[in-house]
Amino acid sequence: MHRPKVGSELFGVKHLPPLSHTASRLLEAVADPDIEIDELAGIISQDPPLAARLLGIANSAYFGQSRPVNSIWEAIIRVFGINMVKSLAVSIALAGTFDPGSCRGFDLADYWYSALATASLSRLLAMQYTGEPRPDGDSLYLCGMLHNLGCLLLAHLFPTQFSQAIAEWTQDQSHAMRDLELKYLDTDHLQAGEWLARRWHLPEAVADVIGYFDDAGYQGPHALHRSIVSGASRWVSVGSRTEGRDMADDQRLNSLPGIGDASLAHIGQRFQAQSEELRAAARILVV
């Protein structure tokens, strides 16, 4: 298939910035359901900047701890749990591979808010889901954290072109951001994210959620993951910013089997009440 210049450069990239030793070990930890807490805490603690950010989030208002969390081991036990800390740690470590600083208009705080909020909302939706099969909330959290990973890749590799797309979208939001990405880069952040997820051998659910993100007809093994994360992401970016809008009125979320209007209304109220605390947590991740 013919791809114009920038798309060809992207999908022909052979030398991405190398993953850190911590990121590589955390990818192995994500794939290991039997990893011990002490081993995981040890991996994270050997990377002081990563450990500091995780402790910052653990002590943030969003998690509402009554006394300070002083170690990664304590953060796992008291705050996150082993699977959530895996998702947070690997997402932060993978993001550290990229430098989006040259991409004007790219807001790293917004990126992290979208990641944290989509992950949190996806997990809340999973907890209320009553259909069968039940979705895996921990897997959904990881998918939510990484659903926009392709934005970091585009901002890192093609800062000028991605800046142009962002600038045009900022001036006129009647155009979908993906359409503008295709206009300036001949690819978009979902194509880029799926390519990266498969290249880095991230869990198949992550790659499928990104790759089929806007494909409502997808019926593969991770169709429910896709529906939940896609609906959560749209609510975070659009629905939650519309004053007076009830989550139960959102078409994507309302179409999810196993979650009734009352549950959606409750989730929406809970999410809205915590949105500013999530934004504060997201700012902790900006360096």
Amino acid letter for position 13: V
pLDDT of residue 8: 62
d(CA 48, CA 163): 32
CA-nearest of 280, 283, 273 to 124 is 273
| List of residues 6+ apart from 147 with CB closer than 8 A | 115, 118, 193, 209, 210, 213, 229, 233
**Entry pTM:** 0.93
- Residues in the chain, pLDDT under 70: 1-9, 11, 14-15, 239-244
d(CA 145, CA 202): 12
pLDDT of residue 1: 36
Residue 89 · residue 26 · CB < 8 Å: yes
CA dist list (Å): 88 to 23, 114, 216, 242: 11, 13, 27, 28
pLDDT of residue 2: 39
Tokens of 24: 């590589």
Quickly list H helices, 70-201: 72-75, 82-95, 108-128, 137-146, 149-157, 159-171, 177-185, 189-199
d(CA 244, CA 125): 20
100 preceded by cis ω (within 30°)?
Answer: no
